[in-house]
Copies of this chain bind each other. A is one copy, B any other.
Amino acid sequence: MQPPAVLAIHGGAGPASPDETDGGAARWPGQAAGLGAALRAGLAVLADGGPALEAVIAAVMVLEDDEHWNAGRGSALTAAGTVEMDAAVADGGDRRIGGVACVTGVRHPVLAARAVMEDGRHVLLSGAGAEAFAREAGLAFEAPEWFIIERRRGALADWLAGAGGGTVGAVARDRDGHLAAATSTGGRNGQLPGRIGDSPIPGAGTWADNAGCAVSATGIGEAFLRAAFAHEVDARLRLEGVDLATACQEALAAVTAAGGNGGCIAVTGDGPPVMPFTTELMHRGWAEVGGSLWVAARPGPLERLETE
């Protein structure tokens, strides 16, 4: 019997909110509801027998529009006070992948990444060239101010030297066993203009191969780049022959060795997703088609979201 279609999402890994005295607990109900909305959007695709690729994109689009997360609206600010976003999508069926880096104004960077992938000429486009490509593809744009929320302005000073977090992502397995991954981020607060993290980079923050696994990562992007993280997960699964949880743990150890921390969500052609992290928090959730929605931020068991 074909394993059930499944979707997992994340809203970033990082320390327990350094900008709030309650550790961010007051924000959790809203974040949990946001994770639930993203899960439902992706599950609606999978329940209709739709492809994993469309499911991860649908989930990430909801998270990009939700200002709780560091992607789309609500993105982190660069050292210049601007928003520069990165995103990627990966289709495990034919190992196609597309990404955009340092784009401004594109409402849904994940759609720009898909447009790059489907166009097929290139894998990765950046900056003004990527924006021109997205306009040509007919994607929606918003004014630069639309992306900037007050909390990020306040956070900029606190976070200038600090950790990132809040990147969003999704991995899915559809009814036909195809895998897909998507990741979208506003980068790190206070990053230099032009900085590209792991999120849009094939094999670093995003990867999908039906023969291996689908992975979306979050954390200190520089360390994930230095560890070639997502491809390391796939390589350990495929070449070392360990299980998915072990592969993720070993690849996260390489991230630690590279001076960073974070987490990931990952899924193979069988079994539930895994969602390990080495930070205090990783906002995350998952569900099977027809099953309960499970979400959490702290380590330990997930909580079941009430059915709407």
Which A residues fall within an 8 A CB radius of B? 95-97, 101-102, 121-130, 132-133, 191-197, 201-204, 207, 221-222, 225-226, 228, 231-232, 235-236, 239-240, 257-258
Contacts and interface: CB of A to CB of B under 8 A. Distances in A.
B232 A192 contact: no
A192 B226 contact: no
Lowest 5 CB-CB distances: which A-B pairs, in order?
A129-B194, A203-B228, A129-B193, A235-B235, A239-B239
B222 A123 contact: yes
Given A101-B196, A125-B195, A132-B194, 11 more contacts: A97-B225, A101-B126, A102-B127, A124-B225, A127-B127, A129-B193, A133-B194, A202-B228, A228-B231, A232-B235, A239-B239
A110 to B, nearest CB: 17
A193 B201 CA distance: 18
Give chain A's interface secondary structure class. mixed
Nearest to A121: B192
A109 to B, nearest CB: 14
Contacts of A127: 102, 126-128, 194
A126 B204 contact: no
Contact of A96 (B133, B192, B226, B239): B226
Contacts of A236: 235, 239
A239 B236 CA distance: 7
B122 A195 contact: yes
Contacts of A101: 101, 126, 196
Contact of A126 (B96, B196, B203): B196
Contacts of A202: 201, 204, 225-226, 228
